[in-house]
Amino acid sequence: MPSAACCRRPRSARHERRPLDPWALLKARTVARIGLGRAGASIATADHLAFQAAHAAARDAVLSRLDVEALTGALEAAGVATTVLASGATDRTTYLARPDLGRSLDPAAAAALAGAAGERPDVAVAVFGGLSAAGIGLHAAELVAGLITDFRAAGLKTASVPVVEFGRVALGDAIGERLGARLVVVIVGERPGLTSADAIGAYVTFRPRVGLTDADRNCVSNIRPAGMPLDEARRRIGWLAREALRLELTGTGLKDRSDEALLAAGAPPTAIA
């Protein structure tokens, strides 16, 4: 007769070495670093390596170049005309060291825009590489094409989309002013975090002109699949643009109440991010 010990089901080595993680439920709902394990006085090796990989991705996002040809090609294929312009920053190193040059137009670009000033669009959408060329390369074409489609469907006049590799948010004021646009929407690569190297942002400014500050704009941030999905961002930017044109203001005087509009239209709360 076999002994009791030989019939007992062996416990798996994995079960004995790894107790259940009490943070597992929360970790499944966020990319934030919570409940990190320890190995002695340091964090666990897996968490340490993940941190280093995220840091490297953030550095790559800041230092990498925007593939302007690929971006304009994708936009043109979607039926969106583009105009490639330059800022006062001539290379990546200068752009990072001199933020002021990223906010100013190159003289040739300023002259080109002066020639198009007679169009006077209702909305000018501009795309800048900003601090995450990776994010712009991944998400900008889909978002911009969707926005242009929505603006045209609403009967708004749009302009050819300026694409500037080394541009910062305030450059949109100079572009919008020279075009005579009522509203400018700047899509720009955001400063990457350690879990968001591919995030982009949108800045909506009514009656753009040189000298405005960030208090005069509305921002939709962290646009990316793992943050604010592109469809959700498109809805919020569209709502802000319509309200800005109706009320003739943006910035601190305009609050994002797009969720209230969605609820009033009968959408279930689960449809609202």
* Positions at the binding site for adenosylcob(III)alamin: 169, 190, 219
Between CA 209 and CA 176 the distance in angstroms is: 7
Full DSSP string of 162-221: EEETT--TTHHHHHHHHHT-SEEEEEEEPPPBTTBTT-EEEEEEES--TT--GGGEEEEE
Q: Which residues are annotated as a binding site?
A: 169, 190, 219
Between CA 103 and CA 109 the distance in angstroms is: 13
Between CA 240 and CA 233 the distance in angstroms is: 11
Q: Which helix (H) or strand (E) holds 43?
A: strand 42-43
Closest CA to 144 of 273, 209, 249, 233: 233
- 119: DSSP letter: G
- 66: DSSP letter: P
Closest CA to 223 of 250, 196, 199, 245: 199
Beta partners for residue 105, in sequence order:
87
